[in-house]
Amino acid sequence: MPAPLLSKEEVLDRLMRTFREHGYDGASLAELSAATGLGKSSLYHYFPGGKVDMAKQVLEHLEAALEKAMFEPLRSNKTPEKKLSAMLDTLSAFYDGGRLACLLERLCASVDRRSFRRPLAKMFDKWMRAVEGLALEAGLPKTVARSRAEDLVVRIEGALIVATGAGDTKVFARTIADLRTSVLACPRT
């Protein structure tokens, strides 16, 4: 670790930002080096496995960050509605209102995607289970809760793509707004 420079946390944050902006395939070692202020040799010191290693560690770093910012608050004793709303606020901030891409998506689409298979599947599962738990807490039947959770993740990932493609972040904002009311709504009879 650079004594006076960046902490490993900060290094991982900057690597994540670079992967999210340029994509995994699009991010070169030169860019990753510039983003962190670490020379290539230093990068290889911390990440002996090169780019794949960086992405794996960034993924673990993200998991820890989400645990704190998104999953832990779900264990409070607030109402499910408030907790859902807090999660959506966190997500909206994390994606900067639809301007920043999702790391999971970037890695899913990479040439080295096989290397990230397990951790990616685990992350998606964790996210969906968290939302499912919230829906169960709100009194929804198990099958409905599951599909609502799946739908939340699907729509957020999709909204990020469409916002980018259509060049309009409002798509993302509308999706978040709709999820705020639809995820825990009573099923139609």
Task: Report the distance separating Cα 116 and Cα 97, nearest Å.
Answer: 26
Q: Does 142 participate in binding DNA (rule CB under 7 A)?
A: no
Q: Tell me the C-alpha to C-alpha distance, in Å, between residue 29 and each of 36, 59, 99.
A: 10, 18, 24
Q: Does 3 participate in binding DNA (rule CB under 7 A)?
A: yes
> Measured over all CA atoms, what is the biggest interatomic distance in the chain, rounded to whole angstroms?
62
Which of DNA, a copy of itself, none does residue 39 bind (CB under 5 to 8 Å by kind)? DNA
Q: Measured on CA atoms in the order 100, 154, 65, 63, is the torsion positive or negative?
A: negative
Binding mask 49-68 for DNA (x = CB under 7 A): -xxx----------------
CB of 40 to DNA, least distance (A): 4
Quick count: other Cβ atoms within 10 Å of Cβ 133? 17
| 110, 116 contact by CB (below 8 A) | yes
Q: Note the residues at the interface with a copy of itself (CB under 8 A).
A: 22-23, 25-26, 101-102, 104-106, 108-111, 113, 117, 120-121, 123-125, 128, 147, 150-151, 153-159, 161-162, 164-167, 171, 174-175, 178, 188
Whose Cβ is closer to a copy of itself: residue 5's or residue 185's? 185
Interface with DNA (CB under 7 A), residue total: 20
Which of a copy of itself, DNA, none does residue 162 bind (CB under 5 to 8 Å by kind)? a copy of itself
Residue 4 DSSP label: S
Write the Ramachandran bin of 139: left for phi over 0, alpha for psi from -120 to 50, otherwise beta. left
Binding mask 6-35 for DNA (x = CB under 7 A): ---------------------xxxx-----
User: Nearest-5° angle of CA 45, CA 50, CA 51?
Assistant: 130
Given the rule CB under 7 A, which residues bind DNA? 1-3, 5, 27-30, 38-42, 44-46, 48, 50-52
